[in-house]
Chains A and B, each alone.
Chain A
């Protein structure tokens, strides 16, 4: 997500719908490398407690394959 420079509730809705759909197929979704402003929005919305936010690809792969 490093190239994402804006995130509103419409975008958060898309993230949640995607994560739910993946979860229903027994998969996992992680968010990789959001910038500081986007991380702040994710935290304010409590999304970081529902979808893991990672700063490295290795960590993200570890989470989704665990």
Chain B
């Protein structure tokens, strides 16, 4: 089983480095493309939320990413020392009935909920620890 770790800073330009690292890990672990896409999208959504909303002020903070693969798929744990936030408690997204009614924003958590097979949040040692797993699709035609 592959287990890798990356530390990035709270800067949106780090998303590109994170995605490249994630794809490298998935390549080594021979993770299927659809799982890689979902994992990368969820990581982008979760880390963007952390960078944009978890920290007061402009100080530098580390965000720790830990990748591991399994027979079921791949998982990622994201740790940050920002303010406590459990995205699993965020209200469900409500689908607007028209373009005029559509609100801008709030879709990141909605996408994560759709794409992950399991996710878990805990606040430990003054840090947010968010883990999620994306499983191989047993029915690729239903992607």
Binding site for B on A (CB under 8 A): 6-10, 12-13, 16-17, 19-20, 23, 36-37, 40-41, 44-46, 49-51
Q: Is the CB of B143 within 8 A of A40?
A: yes
Per the bound structure, the CA–CA distance linking A6 and B108 in Å amounts to 14
Q: Is the CB of B105 within 8 A of A9?
A: yes
Q: Is the CB of B48 within 8 A of A8?
A: yes
A-B contact pairs, 17 of them (CB 8 A): A6-B37, A8-B48, A8-B108, A9-B48, A13-B107, A16-B99, A16-B102, A16-B104, A23-B100, A44-B111, A45-B107, A45-B111, A46-B96, A50-B96, A50-B99, A50-B102, A51-B99
Task: Tell me the smallest distance from the CB of A64 to a CB of chain B, in Å.
Answer: 13
Q: Is the CB of B110 within 8 A of A45?
A: yes
User: Taking A20-B100, A51-B99 as contacts, is the C-beta distance between A9 and B37 under 8 angstroms?
Assistant: no
Q: Which residue of A lies closest to B42 (CB)?
A: A8
| Main DSSP-derived SS at the B contact region | helix
Q: Which residue of B lies closest to A5 (CB)?
A: B37
Per the bound structure, the CA–CA distance linking A23 and B93 in Å amounts to 23
User: Taking A8-B108, A12-B107 as contacts, is the C-beta distance between A44 and B99 under 8 angstroms?
Assistant: no
Residues on the A chain within 8 Å of B139, using CB: none
Q: Is the CB of B99 within 8 A of A37?
A: no
**6 other A-B residue contacts (CB within 8 Å) besides A12-B107, A37-B143, A51-B99:** A16-B102, A23-B99, A36-B143, A37-B34, A41-B111, A44-B114
Per the bound structure, the CA–CA distance linking A49 and B114 in Å amounts to 17
Q: Is the CB of A41 within 8 A of B41?
A: yes
Task: Tell me the smallest distance from the CB of A9 to a CB of chain B, in Å.
Answer: 4
Q: Is the CB of B95 within 8 A of A49?
A: yes
